Structure 1
Amino acid sequence: MFEDVSPLLDDAVLDTVFRQSEVGVHVMDRELRLVRVTGAVLAARGVAEEQLLGRHVTEAYRVFGVESPEIALRGVLDGGPPLRDVLVRGRPPHDPDHVHVYSVSVYPLRPPAANGAEPPPLGLVATVMDVTERIRAQQRLALIYEARERIGRTLDVERTARELVEVTVPGFAGSVVVALTDAVLRGKPPELRRRGDAPLLRCTAVGGSGDGPLPEPGAVLLPGLFGERLPDGPELVAADGEVRLVAPLSVRGQLLGAVAFRRPRGADPYSEEDLALAEGVTAHTATCLENALRFTREHIVMTALQSWPLRPEGETRHAVDLAQRHRPGGTGAGSWFDVIPLPGARVALVVGQVERPGLSSVATMGRLRTAVYSLATLDLAPHELLARLHTVTQRLAREQGRGPGADEPAASCTIAVHDPVTGRLELARAGASLCLAVRPDGSLDADLVDEGPLLGGGGPPFACSSHLLPEGTTLCLASSARDDGGPSRARVAEALASPERGPHAMADDLAALLVPERVLLVARTLRLPATDVAEWPVPSELSAVSPVRHAAEARVREWGLPVDPLTVELTVSELVTNAVRYGAPPISLRLLRGETALTVEVRDGAPTAPHLRHAKAGDEGGRGLHICSTLADAWGVRFEEDGKTVWAELALDGPRD
């Protein structure tokens, strides 16, 4: 038979639990007096068993700096559910300067059941564990997580500094002061730190309540709040009779600012773990500040690039009555518009947008805008100009070092050329920018020109069209991507529906419908007064040159223009002679009276372009275009479907009568 060792085993278990276990075990009778406790734990905490045994639990727990939850204990004793993992705080005798956290679980202590009935409890047994380090580790992880979630939500330097304060008060510090360098606050790049330097730091964000006054925003804080020198990493600094945790805000050796954490009197002082925690939080904040600073600097550059100068309205006021709008948004979408005066009193309206936003897109926009302005001087048809611009866009892609088809720059662009003499509108479109017209009777023409492939994308041919518009037609052009949520045609038509309203009032209504970083042109077409135009048909024979020349000279004198009659006579004579000799009928001469120049145009049916020659001394001819280029301020050739127009502009010596 086996010997019954159960009593011996029970005694051994009890002795091990109460003499050697590192888990505190407290046994209470029904009066909540401590009758047995774990001796090993008490010894480690500097408390003798005699100080606790026989005392009421409320009085006994005060030794550990803990207020006993007597009501909750009574509830368990009276048949309530056990208490599990209840956290209580106190300052034990062995470490009175720090708050400790204990996990307490309480169960009823019952004798063995008799006849299946559960007897009433004899008392309570409580297990107590010091979980201070575990709780602190959880709090540190929670603070790191909260810092990464809440700091840097906006690309604003000062807002990021305030977010650092909001995250760390009051959990990590009673008061926090964040200061940034003067350069960072002005949007300039941070400088590399030099050992021993005392940078100029200005208070940017404060929070909490300290035992003393907190600095005002804008105040210079070094030396003083951060000590005589700024530490290289998180460090405890004694200043003004108290200890603060001071940490620099730096990235890759570049100083952006500093932060000072201070806990109120009576709170636990900062530990080594707190220094490591502060390093993690400030490193993340410094990265967010650098991102915000980079965004601020890029935004300044993009705004400067996007703020293109507008063309003087006086150059185009006889062709269109114009309103221009730009709705900024700070994303650098690369939208642009332009109004370019062309020979013959015509005007080119241009609206474009680089597809992908960013600083590089704004730079690409600037280069494309310059290319459009340069190509417009060649008197190209709108669809031919887009074909040349497509080549420029592809060249920009190659210059940026990107492979074929790998995220190349692409842009949409609409070009409309209005001739105030004939009322004809020539259009070409690449991409999906908004383009429609409202006629004087209120009818909407939303299909002026089809969508075409993007510049830098599919390439020519680009969609083009030609329309004869009555005077007073309102033309609306706006940069708009295919899926940017721009205004619908119906809302645009509603804004343009009242012909009696001016373009500026219409543009104000339409600008409110645009998404950010879009541009808008609203143009009311005009006609050049008939009194400013003179035109003569020219027979295809040299004998017709003299009568036409004299008629042109007489009309210039009638207009009273301040221009040399001999210059007009020579220019008309040479251009008409060239058309008769080398062109094809029908031939016509047209004079256009402008504010600052007289335009001479000779049209013929030949598609060939005249060639500027430099005749030799013995040649009898070949000097016609050379004479015109010398006398005129500008000259050129404009090709049309059924011929060409050679033009020359003669500047007026003063304002016309």
Structure 2
Amino acid sequence: MEVVGVAQDDAISPVEGVAVLEALFRQSPTGLLILDTQLRILRLNLTVPGLHGTPPGQIVGRHFTEVYDLSAPGEVVAMLEGVLASGAPARNHLVRVRPKGAPGPEYLFSVSASRLESPQRRVLGVLAEMLDVTEREKVGARLRVFGSVREGVGRTLDVVATCEELVHEVVPDLADIAVVDVVDAVVRGEDPPLSPLGLEVPLRRAAYGHSGGEEQMQAHPVGDVRALPFPTPFAQTLADLVPRVVALGPDTPWLAADPPRAAAIRASGAHSLITVPLALRGTVLGLLSLYRTGQTDTYERGDVTLARAVAAHTALCIDNARRYTREHTIALTIQRHVLLPLPATQTTVETAHMHVPSAVGGGGGFDTFALPGARTALMVGEVAGQGVHAATTLGQIRTATHSLAALGLEPDELVARLNDTALSLAQERATLPPGDRVPVRGSCAYAVYDPLAQTCAIALAGHPPPVIAHPDGTTEIPDLPAGPPLGSAEGSPFAVTTLPVTDGSILAFYTASLLYVSPSPDTLQQVLAHPDRPLQDLCDEVLYRLRNDTCHGDVFLLLARTRTFPAHHVARWDLDPHAKAVATARAHTRQQLALWGIDEETAYTTEMIVSELVTNAVRYGTPPLRLQLIKDRALTCEVHDGNSLAPRLRHANTIDEGGRGLFIIAQLAQNWGVRYSLEGKTVWAEKTLPTATPP
């Protein structure tokens, strides 16, 4: 089959050209303007936007800028003249215009222009196409505002900071003035009240922003706390949780109920207001107030929709920040109960501490407590995580430390048992829901200072070693085995190092966070080079040298200055390992307690305790045998022998002739226990003195 082709010709006849032109001007949905070389209007169609029904006869012949009130007339004229001069078309230039002499909102046109030429290439004028894109651009602008709010609001877990982020994102694109008021209880992390909000519930002015260069008058300063006045659209919005668009004018009736706000509105020239509740799941978090001033368009339905979406996102961010604030407050409360208000100062140890809490709430802590034999335990540590989980883990570790220390364990043995405790806690938490499976890891330094031997035994579990400042001003960081962190299932065993400590030395224990925030690792040594200063002054000096950066966790510093124990409050006797040793020990005890001025009742019970301790040592122990009495805040009786076998408490039967020694001791003493060493064991018992004063 033969295909017949049709010849194509670029040229069209004048009749066809006129037909095309007439079709465009009668049927095109786009506004068309024909301008001459002087930019005067020669012809236009009826769909040209923004003319409000003005007859074409009143427009033809007038200059383009005389018909429209252009926001930037110079740019539009330059664009059209550029098309006339170069012949290159211009496409989709956005122009803001208002009708000349006619009231109404501002329009946004997309203007395209092409040069008109005769067949002889003579320039005849310009064909301008105008498309009203006002609504399209408004929708796009609103979407951009909402995108900015979603990206920029909620980056912090702070209620006030979240409100400030909101103001920053909506001014000036959505409002010339933005005000955020939050229920005061929400700022503190408490549960928000249910709707409707009572008239007496106070709100805190959390954030304020404006687009003007000059400072605007505010009804109430940021931080002010007060209830909303009634009747006003603000109070009503929080009563029914319905946004409101309010026209503002000099005769607005409700302004009389809030004179400060009325004065601020008049001073700013605000003419339009949107009030939007910050609400979530039927609870009221606060209120967002948006104002437009001056020549800015009044608010429309689309603006209300955007304000709703912005408020919904912000309310969720505020509630997240509130929940974090609440959890952070709970964690700090737990940590305060775990930490001592002030370290207990022992007879032979003076202590001071520094605590710099982090923004996230870490799981660090310290402790000092007395041990039998005038010894003092010092501990600093931290656990992984933050918030309530870290604080509770810290409390469990601290409780375990006290319980294990009461057993008389050496530091390395105690740290090993703490590691077992951490592993046990991790196994328990492994059975919890996924959100609660917080790992149990941490580090600690545990030390025992013995003033009688003038030594300090230290064991580390993944923790930095202490700094020791000697009385002569020299400092050192001893080379100690670090040991694996707490919660390690595998690793090298824990080790203990015993260091000689002279009178007046300072032991400085700290958490690893101190190394991150101090300007240099030797900062602590520089401060401790003056050990004669008061301990609290030394803590403050370290604090003043820290950078403003605590994101790595809580910073703890515990300083302990050692003292010698008064020699006249210690008595020691070597005993022969035979039955007569019991009577000898009682006699020594009676004489020494008389020298110390101990009352008769306490002296009598102490003699019985010594008698039972020495009897057990003679019967079941091995040489050497030694008795030691220590008068501190309590009266301690210690009997040492060379046998490492542990005695045990028995409940003897009625017909048994023995087996009641430790039972009697447990009844007469406030506390008793066994302490082991390479030379054997020491069985001790403590008796509270009537007047608990240091020697």
Distance in 1, matches of 2:646 and 2:235, equals: 80
Match of 2:297 among 264, 268, 272: 268
With 73-82 and 164-173 compared, the bigger mean Cα shift is at 73-82
CA contact (8 A) 2:278 2:287 kept: yes
Distance in 1, matches of 2:595 and 2:199, equals: 79
Query: Which position in structure 2 is the counterpart of 1:630?
Result: 667
Query: Which position in structure 1 is the counterpart of 2:618?
Result: 580
**Superposed CA offset, 1:251-284 (max 9, x none):** 2222212223233376433223212211111111
Query: Which position in structure 1 is the counterpart of 2:566?
Result: 529
Distance in 2, matches of 1:326 and 1:543, equals: 55
- CA offset at residue 73 of structure 1? 4.4
Query: Which position in structure 2 is the counterpart of 1:466?
Result: 498
Query: Which position in structure 1 is the counterpart of 2:143?
Result: 141
- CA offset at residue 129 of structure 1? 1.9
Distance in 2, matches of 1:288 and 1:38, equals: 51
Matches within 5 A, 1:117-136: 121-136=123-138
Distance in 1, matches of 2:606 and 2:71, equals: 108
C-alpha spacing 1:42/1:84, structure 2 compared with 1 (3 Å) = closer
CA contact (8 A) 1:325 1:519 kept: yes
C-alpha spacing 1:197/1:554, structure 2 compared with 1 (3 Å) = closer
Distance in 2, matches of 1:513 and 1:228, equals: 50
C-alpha spacing 1:485/1:431, structure 2 compared with 1 (3 Å) = farther
CA contact (8 A) 1:549 1:572 kept: yes
C-alpha spacing 1:553/1:488, structure 2 compared with 1 (3 Å) = farther
CA contact (8 A) 2:87 2:114 kept: no
Distance in 2, matches of 1:518 and 1:320, equals: 22
- CA offset at residue 203 of structure 1? 5.3
Query: Which position in structure 2 is the counterpart of 1:343?
Result: 372
Query: Which position in structure 2 is the counterpart of 1:480?
Result: 512
The amino acid across from 1:490 in the alignment is D
C-alpha spacing 1:427/1:48, structure 2 compared with 1 (3 Å) = same
The amino acid across from 2:105 in the alignment is H
C-alpha spacing 1:337/1:459, structure 2 compared with 1 (3 Å) = farther
C-alpha spacing 1:641/1:404, structure 2 compared with 1 (3 Å) = farther
With 170-179 and 399-408 compared, the bigger mean Cα shift is at 399-408
C-alpha spacing 1:94/1:15, structure 2 compared with 1 (3 Å) = farther
Query: Which position in structure 2 is the counterpart of 1:452?
Result: 483
Query: Which position in structure 1 is the counterpart of 2:527?
Result: 495
Match of 1:396 among 418, 425, 429: 425
Query: Which position in structure 2 is the counterpart of 1:61?
Result: 68
CA contact (8 A) 2:272 2:299 kept: no
Query: Which position in structure 1 is the counterpart of 2:388?
Result: 359
The alignment's TM-score, normalised by the length of structure 1, stands at 0.89
C-alpha spacing 1:203/1:649, structure 2 compared with 1 (3 Å) = closer
SS in 2 for 1:307: helix
Query: Which position in structure 2 is the counterpart of 1:549?
Result: 586
SS in 1 for 2:685: strand
**Superposed CA offset, 1:240-259 (max 9, x none):** 35864222111222221222
Unaligned runs of 5+ in 2: 1-5, 254-270
Match of 1:324 among 353, 359, 372: 353
Distance in 1, matches of 2:306 and 2:363, equals: 42
Matches within 5 A, 1:132-531: 132-193=134-195, 200=201, 202=203, 204=205, 205-208=207-210, 215-216=219-220, 217-223=224-230, 224-226=232-234, 228=236, 230-236=239-245, 240=252, 244-264=273-293, 267-308=296-337, 316-402=345-431, 408-458=439-489, 461-480=493-512, 484=516, 489-511=521-543, 512-513=545-546, 515=550, 516-531=553-568
Distance in 2, matches of 1:605 and 1:66, equals: 102
With 442-451 and 401-410 compared, the bigger mean Cα shift is at 401-410
**Structure 2 residue 14 is matched with structure 1 residue 10:** no
Distance in 1, matches of 2:393 and 2:343, equals: 29
**Structure 2 residue 48 is matched with structure 1 residue 41:** yes
SS in 1 for 2:643: coil
Distance in 2, matches of 1:549 and 1:586, equals: 18
SS in 2 for 1:654: coil
Distance in 1, matches of 2:662 and 2:81, equals: 114
- CA offset at residue 27 of structure 1? 1.9
CA contact (8 A) 2:182 2:286 kept: yes
The amino acid across from 2:35 in the alignment is M
CA contact (8 A) 1:192 1:253 kept: yes
CA RMSD of aligned residues (A): 3.4
Distance in 1, matches of 2:378 and 2:692, equals: 27
- CA offset at residue 626 of structure 1? 2.5
With 240-249 and 67-76 compared, the bigger mean Cα shift is at 67-76
**Superposed CA offset, 1:118-144 (max 9, x none):** x5x333332222121222122112211
CA contact (8 A) 2:377 2:446 kept: yes
CA contact (8 A) 1:47 1:93 kept: no
SS in 2 for 1:576: helix
The amino acid across from 2:588 in the alignment is A
With 345-354 and 102-111 compared, the bigger mean Cα shift is at 102-111
SS in 2 for 1:263: strand
- CA offset at residue 345 of structure 1? 0.4
**Superposed CA offset, 1:588-622 (max 9, x none):** 1111121x322111000101112222333443332
CA contact (8 A) 1:200 1:222 kept: no
- CA offset at residue 353 of structure 1? 0.3
CA contact (8 A) 1:382 1:415 kept: yes
With 42-51 and 252-261 compared, the bigger mean Cα shift is at 42-51
SS in 2 for 1:417: strand
**Superposed CA offset, 1:137-185 (max 9, x none):** 2211221122223323433323333333333233322433333224324
Distance in 2, matches of 1:143 and 1:312, equals: 49
- CA offset at residue 350 of structure 1? 0.6
Query: Which position in structure 1 is the counterpart of 2:27?
Result: 20
Distance in 2, matches of 1:397 and 1:154, equals: 30
The amino acid across from 1:275 in the alignment is V
CA contact (8 A) 2:50 2:98 kept: no
CA contact (8 A) 1:355 1:481 kept: no
Size of the aligned set, in residue pairs, is 648
C-alpha spacing 1:35/1:489, structure 2 compared with 1 (3 Å) = closer
**Superposed CA offset, 1:486-527 (max 9, x none):** 675533322222343343333333344484512111112222
The amino acid across from 1:508 in the alignment is D
C-alpha spacing 1:571/1:147, structure 2 compared with 1 (3 Å) = same
CA contact (8 A) 2:419 2:486 kept: yes
Distance in 2, matches of 1:519 and 1:629, equals: 38
**Structure 2 residue 566 is matched with structure 1 residue 566:** no
The alignment's TM-score, normalised by the length of structure 2, stands at 0.84
Query: Which position in structure 2 is the counterpart of 1:614?
Result: 651
- CA offset at residue 463 of structure 1? 2.8
- CA offset at residue 407 of structure 1? 5.5
